[in-house]
Structure 1
Amino acid sequence: MEQEIYMQRESAAPVPASGGRHRKPKQTRVASRRARAAVVATPMAVAMFSGTSAFAADKGTTARPVNSVADKSAGSGSDGRMAANLNTRMNDPRLGPHLSGVVLDANSDRVVWGHDASTALMPASNTKLLTATAALSVLGPDHRFTTKVTYRDGTLTLVGGGDRLLTTADLTRLAQTSAAKLKSQGVGFVKVRVDDSLFPEPTQAKGWRGDYYPGEVAPVRALVVDGRSVLDTSVDAGKTFAKQLAAAGVVVNGDVTRGRAGASDVSVAQHRSPKLSESVRKMLKLSDNNIAETLLRMTALGTGRPATFEGGTAAVRQVLRDYGVPLTNVKLYDGSGLSRSDRIPAATLAAVLDLTQDHPQTLQPVLDGLPVSGEAGSTLGPEWGRFDDPHSTCAVGKVRAKTGTLSGAISLSGVTQGKDGRLKVFAFVENDASAAPAATKDALDGLAATVNGCWA
């Protein structure tokens, strides 16, 4: 669901374990550690790598000017070879003229390689990494959303609570419980309305195209069933509830309307969602835009801000700032990355992913939700042609990464175990490639395989 409309969607060494790792706590302050990732393009205590790209030479094109760096401690070992290979392979013409990239050693936070890492580019769905991190940090991975049914003066109100995993089966149970209570009080006829006032009237984010509705994303409301992306998800859910209510023996009069539950309403039934961690995992595996935008609003509410794009993005920035993540040049207008005005450097994306190693109790669902290279049913699955290039097939099952695709922007950020056996965090964002999106994705998959070291 991450791709812009009209776009084509997307066991050797094991993939990094989702259970986190055991290591001694770092003594360096988080803010100073994260700040280092923001300046990886500064030639300070670094070794320069240069040379003409083999890809460019083969195709007779001009190589991208090299301003990449690698930590001197990488030396001539596996990290040094990996950095040198990245400096060559980033010149692949399939990657276009603008590439921001960085590789960190997750244990030490040492910058192994970087190229324009602090240059902010359009990140596409890699934005969801920021949204997930903020939601988990503010609400907690065990947080659940509540959908309620209330009754007053012959009217049942279905009250939305921001549960994006609400199903028809859940509404059926709510309807059956409601029907039983109504019948016990001798009530056999009701009207049904929906209350989605938890969120204000939907608007579009800056940078959203007018044709995003409802295929790429639905107007953001607090009530939805079965993840259906329609123009009015609340009334749609209300109709499903009314149908199940009728099936339970209660006559529903008239059409489903919209209104607010009052303080004098009597609570009839409620449903609690699965844990937030499950919503985060699904959002990342499938790159679900609707879950992302809902979580952005729930995060805003969790910080006392309005449930708007502005309130949500302000909450995200505050959470990341508190963690010490570099936000220089970051521009954020939504939670899904559909906005063509969003700008995030690779350094920021890598720093956000590195937080999963420092705060596993809170952020483990981010790591768990990253698609695995070659994982069917995810955005890195074979159905989207990922990791099937001759240079990247060696990395199938070895990389966890979040994808991102808009016209003119493709990104890939994740983790993998390097040739030296140490966990590497990487982020690659490219903009303005003239190659077909599938070809650009193959090139990015190759960079991830390079970080892994299987493409040596």
Structure 2
Amino acid sequence: MSNSPSADRARGRHRKSGTVSPVLRRVAVVALTAPVAGTILFGTSAFAAEQAAPKSLAKTDTVTLDTAEQQIAANLDTRVQDVRLGSTFSGVVIDAQSTAAIWGHDATTALMPASNTKLATSTAALTILGPDHRFTTKAVYDNGTLTLVGGGDRTLTTADLTAMATTAVAGLKSAGLTSVKVAVDDSLFPEPTLATGWNSGYYPDSIAPVRALVVDGRHVTDTSLDAGQIFAKLVAKQGVTVTGTVSHATAATSAVPVAQHQSAALSAVVEHMLKVSDNDIAETLLRMTALAAGRPATFEDGTAVVRQVLTRYGVSLANFEVYDGSGLSRSNRIPAQTIADILHLADDPANAPTLKYIVDGLPVSGEAGSTLGPEWGRFDTADSKCAVGKVSAKTGTLTGAIALSGLTVAADGRWKIFSFIENNSTAAPDATKDALDGLAATVNGCWA
């Protein structure tokens, strides 16, 4: 029987659920039956009324480790001293079923987590919006203007716009209209701002200014106008004259819908976002989560909802500071223990209807096209290549911060959850990543 994470997920659930409080069970039900349920979840629901006491999900009692776990702990004690990891390191390994602590090194010390932040963002988005939620982009007509209305779909493509243009043009022609102006409405989100811990140099290279309308994930300063200009060309190409230049506008509530496109389900969007660590999708999800919870679409309100969701699930937010959804912020601070707790939530079959897509979206060691693929030089050293196909983990990389957190089956046949976060190592980033891959192979047990 294969120990590959992907193979195991194909067979179904890999462990029994831990004890889950009635309030958390109701959360999953509400999230599934009401995909846009923010005002319910944070209004009068049991989710808001019965707050789980903040705590660490990992047990702190003395436990008896089996032989494989003793070997993991002993080896990690030695290997965490690797100079490539520097002296600022937070790490933890827990048993996925019992949540017993197997090993820890400054596990509650909050460090810059980089893209491991996306695990918290995904948890909140799936809980508040629901995994079946879809983002809708619309085209509406009113008084001579065809307006493209953004709905927070960061996966919108030119092909999607082409289909919308075809439908819109057919409707316009059937109404005898041969000429229109084109505008864009991205009023769903406020004007883009920089998060705490960001700098203007992030635009538009590392991330585009966060707007509700974008096509092909293009990194330009005004993604809405860019999408509108592409849409205008597509409309003109199909025989309706477009006059003037594309501009920003707010569509009237009385405007007539003429076309729309819905994204893939949020579950698929989250999986893709985690697999390739897409910063733009993460920031859009943060805003859509805030809106669904009845709050403004801002960094501040989005991260406030993330904190609320994690608290209700029982995750301790001691030493937890998050200012964005992607992990680009250099002001973010999360302990390895908290990351492990979040992964435990996603891995628990009791939460599977809502959160299993987080585990499904984790890159697999050696998986081409993911952030753990060979093109990134991951799991290709003598110490770690034995773990190819055996580790599912979220990467995180910023200047001065590298993280790796995920799951693997250890030598005792039991799943282990681990989180390793390094800050301020003076080693080359690729060398530090190799060291972290080695730690994951240590948990797996193939590097004994």
TM-score if structure 2 supplies the norm length?
0.90
Pair 1:196 & 2:186 matched: yes
In the other structure, the counterpart of 1:433 is 425
Give the corresponding residue for 2:282: 292
Matched with 2:220 is: 230
CA 1:443 to 1:23, structure 2 compared with 1: closer, same or farther past 3 Å? closer
Instruction: Using the TM superposition, give the Cα deviation of residue 432 of structure 1 relative to its aligned residue in structure 2, in angstroms.
Output: 0.5
Q: What does residue 157 of structure 2 align with?
A: 167
Amino acid paired to 1:26? G
* Match of residue 384 from structure 1: 376
2:246 corresponds to which letter in structure 1?
V
- Stretches of structure 1 that go unaligned for 5 or more consecutive residues are 1-10, 46-71
Aligned to 2:65: 74
Matches within 5 A, 1:37-52: 37=58, 45=62
Q: CA deviation at 1:198?
A: 0.2
2-structure distance, mates of 1:312, 1:133: 12
Q: Cα gap change, 1:200/1:391 in structure 2, threshold over 3 Å: closer, same or farther? A: same
Q: Which moved more, 1:265-274 or 1:444-453?
A: 265-274
Alignment of 1:297-316 (within 5 A): 297-316=287-306
Shift in CA distance, 432/357, structure 1 to aligned 2, threshold 3 Å: same
Deviations 1:408-428 (A, max 9, x none): 000000000011111111000
Deviation at 1:36, TM superposition (A): 4.5
| Structure 1: distance between partners of 2:404 and 2:379 | 12
Matched-pair contact (CA < 8 Å) for 1:33–1:109: no
Q: Is the 8 A contact 1:100 1:119 kept in 2?
A: yes
Residues 175 and 28 from structure 1, CA distance in 2 versus in 1: closer, same or farther, beyond 3 angstroms?
closer
Whole-Å separation in 2 of the counterparts to 1:208 and 1:312: 16
* Partner Cα separation in structure 1 for residue 347 and residue 184 of structure 2: 42
Structure 1 residues 138-196: Cα deviation after superposition (integer angstroms, max 9, x where no partner): 11111001101111110000000000111111101111111011111110000000000
The CA deviation string for residues 228-282 of structure 1, in whole angstroms up to 9 with x for no partner, is: 1111110011011111101111000011100000112111111111101111111
**Correspondence list, 1:349-364, <5 A:** 349-358=339-348, 359-364=351-356
CA distance in 1 between counterparts of 2:280 and 2:336 reads 24
Q: Summarize the alignment of residues 157-306 of structure 1 with structure 2, pairs less than 5 Å apart.
A: 157-306=147-296
Normalising by the residue count of structure 1, what TM-score does the alignment of the two structures yield? 0.89
Distance across 1 between alignment mates of 2:15 and 2:371: 31
Partners of 1:405 and 1:22 lie apart in 2 by: 29
Report the alpha carbon displacement of residue 406 of structure 1 after superposing the two structures with TM: 0.4
Quote the Cα distance in structure 1 between the aligned partners of 2:306 and 2:104.
25
Structure 1 distance, partners of 2:199, 2:233, is: 34
Equivalent residues in 2 for 1:397-436 (5 A)?
A: 397-436=389-428
Q: Secondary structure at the match of 2:404?
A: strand
What one-letter code is carried by the residue in structure 2 that aligns with 1:331? E
Look up the match of 2:328: 338
User: 2 CA distance for matches of 1:219 and 1:260?
Assistant: 19
2:57/2:314 contact within 8 Å kept? no
| Matched-pair identity in % | 64
Distance, in Å, in 2 between the alignment partners of 1:428 and 1:420 is: 21
Q: Name stretches of at least 5 consecutive residues in structure 2 with no aligned partner.
A: 25-51
Shift of 1:34: 5.2
Conserved? CA contact 1:139–1:302, under 8 Å:
yes
Contact map agreement 1:18 1:364 (CA 8 A) in 2: no
Q: Which residue of 2 aligns with 1:373?
A: 365
Q: Is the 8 A contact 2:56 2:337 kept in 1?
A: no
Alpha-carbon distance in structure 2 between the residues aligned to 1:342 and 1:24? 33
Of 49, 56, 67, which residue of structure 2 is paired with 1:35?
Answer: 56
For 1:18 and 1:170, the matched residues in 2 are separated by: 31
Q: Distance in 2 between matches of 1:182 and 1:28?
A: 54
Rounded Cα–Cα distance in structure 2 between residues aligned with 1:27 and 1:415: 20
The answer to whether the 8 A contact 1:326-1:347 is kept is no
- 2:76 maps to 86
**Post-superposition shift, 1:111?**
1.0
CA RMSD of aligned residues (A): 1.6
1:142 corresponding residue in structure 2:
132
The answer on whether the counterparts of 1:34 and 1:351 sit within 8 Å (CA) in structure 2 is no
Moved over 4 A (4+): 28-34
Deviation digits for residues 351-379 of structure 1 (CA, Å, limit 9, x no counterpart): 00011222111111111110000111111
Q: Is the 8 A contact 2:57 2:341 kept in 1?
A: no
Per the TM alignment, residue 290 of structure 1 is displaced from its structure 2 partner at its CA by 0.2
Q: Which residue of 1 aligns with 2:44?
A: none
Superposed CA offset, 1:392-438 (max 9, x none): 00000000000000010000000000111111110000001000000
Cα deviation for residue 85 of structure 1 reads: 0.4
- Decide whether aligned partners of structure 1 residues 406 and 23 sit closer, same or farther in structure 2, where only a CA change above 3 A counts: closer
**1:60 alignment partner in structure 2:** none
**How far did 1:24 drift?**
4.0
Say if 2:366 and 2:374, in contact at 8 Å, map to a contact too.
yes
SS class of match (1:299): helix
Alignment CA distance shift 1:454-1:32 (3 Å): farther
Contact 2:54 2:317 in 1 (8 A): no
